[in-house]
């Protein structure tokens, strides 16, 4: 296991990021997450192994045959900065444990707003999806209008704070779906795979898909290389039900 994973941070979107703040088993234990899964299935003591070949074969068997509880023995804890439009979808996965930054205690900063690189068109065949992009001139005009809105709304937010309005009410001036929040989020490997299966899919909204991709590539694969290989073989390749 990569001992540099804890504390690693990767950038996502224009101002967001994902940081791994803890992992079980901890890298200092010298027990890999894959081995923890295998030994949980064997109901043995942590650190026991029957050799890489047999261990990996058992792990693949577990995932292929939907014996999922051993994968719950590995946990990831992240600190994530994402706009509310992302969190709005993320919290639907109730297998995560969350603790969120509160605008009642922490004032927002002037740049705490999501500005997309491109403006996507509404999909003709899917009422909840986007497809393609608007032309360059329209993209630039919309971005300018969005930045103007952010500037004005933040100015009103600051005016309210300076007038003595509580933080919990002053934030009403801020554009809700675009405000960045920082959360601590924890999940086990089994439920994380279900999250990634859905949110890495091509039909997932971009603003959450990039976070799922980042978690998979930067943290899940390095921490659980065998499990990631089995995930790609038996879960990602399978059609959604």
**Does residue 226 form part of some domain?**
yes
- 70 within 8 A of 37, measured Cβ to Cβ: yes
127 and 196 together in one domain: no
Give residues with Cβ within 8 angstroms of 78, minimum separation 6.
18, 19, 20, 21, 184, 185, 186, 215, 219
- 223 within 8 A of 5, measured Cβ to Cβ: yes
Tens digits of per-residue pLDDT, 101-160? 777 767 888 889 999 999 988 888 777 778 788 999 999 999 999 999 999 999 999 999
Q: What is the pLDDT of residue 125?
A: 78
Of 161, 178, 195, the one marking the end of a domain is: 178
pTM greater than 0.85 (yes/no):
yes
d(C-alpha 196, C-alpha 188), whole Å: 12
Tens digits of per-residue pLDDT, 180-214? 999 999 999 999 999 999 999 989 999 999 999 99
Mean pLDDT (the chain, rounded)? 91
Tens digits of per-residue pLDDT, 68-104? 999 999 999 999 999 999 999 999 999 999 998 777 7
We report the CATH number of the domain holding residue 32 as 3.30.1360.170
232 and 128 together in one domain: no
CA 217 from chain centre, in angstroms, equals 11
124 and 195 together in one domain: no
21 and 88 together in one domain: yes
How many CB atoms are located within 10 Å of the residue 202 CB?
Answer: 6
183 and 95 together in one domain: yes
* 199 in catalytic set: yes
95 and 184 together in one domain: yes
- 29 within 8 A of 3, measured Cβ to Cβ: no
Please determine, for residue 42, whether its predicted confidence score (pLDDT) is greater than 60: yes
d(C-alpha 193, C-alpha 196), whole Å: 5
Number of structural domains the chain divides into: 2
60 and 136 together in one domain: no
Q: What is the pLDDT of residue 44?
A: 58
Which domain covers residue 155, as residue numbers? 115-178
95 and 14 together in one domain: yes
Give residues with Cβ within 8 angstroms of 160, minimum separation 6.
169, 170, 173
**Does residue 106 form part of some domain?**
no
Q: What is the pLDDT of residue 133?
A: 87
Average confidence (pLDDT) over 222-237: 94
Instruction: Write down the catalytic residue from 81, 171, 199, 209.
Output: 199
58 and 147 together in one domain: no
- 222 within 8 A of 14, measured Cβ to Cβ: no
36 and 152 together in one domain: no
Q: What DSSP line would sit under 128-188, residue for residue?
A: T-EEEE--HHHHHHHHHHHHHHHHHHHHHHHHHHHTT--HHHHGGGS-GGGBEEEEEEEEE
d(C-alpha 192, C-alpha 195), whole Å: 5
**Does residue 212 form part of some domain?**
yes
Provide the β-strand partners of residue 133. 120
34 and 46 together in one domain: yes
Cis geometry, peptide bond prior to residue 25 (ω within 30 degrees of 0): yes
161 and 195 together in one domain: no
**Does residue 110 form part of some domain?**
no
Q: What is the pLDDT of residue 238?
A: 61
**Does residue 67 form part of some domain?**
yes
Please determine, for residue 46, whether its predicted confidence score (pLDDT) is greater than 70: no
């Amino acid at each position: 296991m990569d001992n540099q994973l804890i504390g690693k941070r990767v950038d996502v979107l224009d101002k967001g990021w994902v940081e791994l703040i803890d992992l079980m088993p901890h890298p200092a234990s010298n027990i890999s997450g894959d081995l923890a899964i295998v030994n949980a299935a064997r109901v043995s003591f942590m650190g026991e192994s029957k050799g890489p070949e047999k261990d990996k074969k058992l792990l693949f068997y577990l995932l292929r045959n939907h014996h999922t509880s051993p994968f719950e023995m590995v946990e990831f804890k992240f600190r994530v900065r994402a706009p509310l439009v992302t969190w709005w979808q993320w919290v639907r996965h109730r297998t995560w444990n969350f603790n969120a930054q509160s605008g009642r205690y922490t004032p927002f900063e002037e740049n705490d707003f999501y500005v997309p690189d491109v403006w996507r068109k509404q999909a003709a065949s899917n009422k909840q999806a986007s497809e393609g992009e608007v032309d360059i001139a329209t993209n630039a005009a919309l971005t300018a209008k969005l930045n103007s809105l952010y500037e004005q709304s933040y100015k009103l937010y600051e005016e309210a704070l300076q007038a003595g309005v509580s933080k919990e009410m002053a934030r009403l001036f801020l554009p809700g779906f675009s405000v960045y929040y920082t959360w601590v989020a924890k999940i086990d490997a089994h439920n994380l795979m279900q999250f990634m299966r859905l949110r890495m899919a091509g039909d997932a909204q971009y603003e959450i898909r990039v976070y799922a991709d980042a978690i998979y590539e930067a943290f899940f694969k390095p921490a659980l290389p065998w499990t990631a290989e089995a995930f790609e073989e038996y879960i990602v390749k399978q059609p959604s039900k």
